Amino acid sequence: MIVTIVGAGRLAEGIAVRALAGGCTVRLADSEPGNALALAALLAAAPGAGSPGWGRAEPDADGGGLAGLLRGCDVVILALPYPQGRRVAAEQGAALAGLTVVDTCNPVDYSTFDALLTCPGMSAAEEIARAVAGVTPAPRVVKAFSTTLPATLIAGQAGGLPLDVFLAGDDAGAKATVAALVTAGGMRAVDAGPLRRARELEALQLLHMTLQGPLSLDWASGIKLLP
């Protein structure tokens, strides 16, 4: 599977580690090409790098642009803060036609750390879907990796248990593709329902984030469903 990750921050690093562990080819893009190169260097030193089955990281070394990295890929992951993912989706337009596009962001109001910036009855993922609504064939938007923290993605587990990655989307085929990526990386995919369920996932992660300090979780916790 070829995965293009847009963004080169800590979340991008964590998702890339899991994708590489699953044998994927990972293309790295950032508005600053140097950031993609730096992330590629980090990934080359990650635990497990170079082991049998480990994938390949390909940074946008020459600054050729995102559109070129999108060609031929299977999944595009927008590992960007809100609302940058929506802006990138709108800017790329036709380059995303027919692709599975994963929104990872949580639209948290960091000035108060107590609210979401989206309007009631709306999610960041649904905003992205609206931003590309005129593209044919339509990009297939999936919400995923919004409830997994970077440190746990890099480690591949939380509390000794595989991570649960909650998925929301309206296209069954797109969700199956993302679920295959999640499973290959050693995690468990949990289908949370249609794209509108992204609203609850974003609210759930806001709660998860606000509890880091009170519970001394040190940004290394996970949300998991147990029988």
CA distance 20 to 171: 25
Domain range list for the chain: 2-210
Q: Once rounded to an integer, what is the mean pLDDT over residues 77-97?
A: 97
Check whether 62 has a pLDDT greater than 80. Answer: no
- pTM value is 0.97
pLDDT at 33: 86
Give me the residue label for tokens 């797109």. 174
Write down the CATH number for the domain with range 2-210. 3.40.50.720
Helices (H) and strands (E) in the chain, counts: 8, 10
Please, are residues 141 and 110 in contact by the beta-carbon 8 Å criterion? no
Check whether 64 has a pLDDT greater than 90. Answer: no
pLDDT at 63: 66
pLDDT at 2: 98
pLDDT in tens, 183-218: 999 999 999 999 999 999 999 999 999 999 999 999
Q: What pairs with residue 58 in β-bridges?
A: 27
pLDDT at 60: 83
pLDDT at 65: 83
DSSP, collapsed to helix, strand or coil, labels residue 187 as coil
pLDDT in tens, 126-156: 999 999 999 999 999 999 999 999 999 999 9
CA distance 8 to 212: 23
Burial 130-155 (b: 16+ CB within 10 A, else e): ebbeebeebbbbbbbbbbbbbbbbbb
pLDDT at 3: 98
